[in-house]
Amino acid sequence: MALRNIRIDEDPVLRKKARTVEKFDPALHRLLEDMADTMYDAPGIGLAAPQVGVLKRAIVFDTGDGLMEMINPEITDSEGEQIEIEGCLSVPGIYGKVSRPASIKVNYQDRKGIRHTMDANELQAVVICHETDHLFGKLFTDIATEYITAEELEESGNMHEETL
């Protein structure tokens, strides 16, 4: 198990655009494994490579159905709207309401480079949108419509106290 440092707040790497992954090699596999370890340790339910200082288009997440790895994810379709409270491991202690599509279609590659398409909704759609935003240097605080405090979050019993 190898943990990497999670970049936070004003770290400039969080604002940079990640590059397309072209090599599906052991270095990529090590990165994905370290990202999963770091995410579970935090604990969080999603993590994008720029959050550990690596500008590659790779994300990991686990919304309760097991670990998912997505390389070069691209949201090709979206429908509807859901407004949920989000947090982010790179913006500790801050939670806010964000509008996301209710359902999305995402194309991605797995760690071997094989292409897949997935339909996602509810929390999974939120996480995939949040993490792919990180690949463009975008944070949820850029689009949050309202902030709430950690205390308010606790009182609301909202499921999104997990951070992404």
List interacting residues with Ni ion (CB under 5 A): 88, 164
As measured in angstroms, the least distance from the Cβ of 52 to Ni ion is 12
Q: CA 99 to CA 23: how far, in whole Å?
A: 34
**Rounded to 5, what percent of the chain is helix, strand, coil?**
30, 35, 35
For Ni ion, which is the closer residue by CB, 71 or 135?
A: 135
Phi then psi for residue 108, to 5 deg, are -155, 170
Return the amino acid letter for 72.
N
For Ni ion, which is the closer residue by CB, 108 or 140?
A: 140
Selection from 48, 13, 15 nearest residue 127 by Cα: 48
As measured in angstroms, the least distance from the Cβ of 26 to Ni ion is 26
For Ni ion, which is the closer residue by CB, 49 or 88?
A: 88
Active site residues: 131
As measured in angstroms, the least distance from the Cβ of 47 to Ni ion is 7
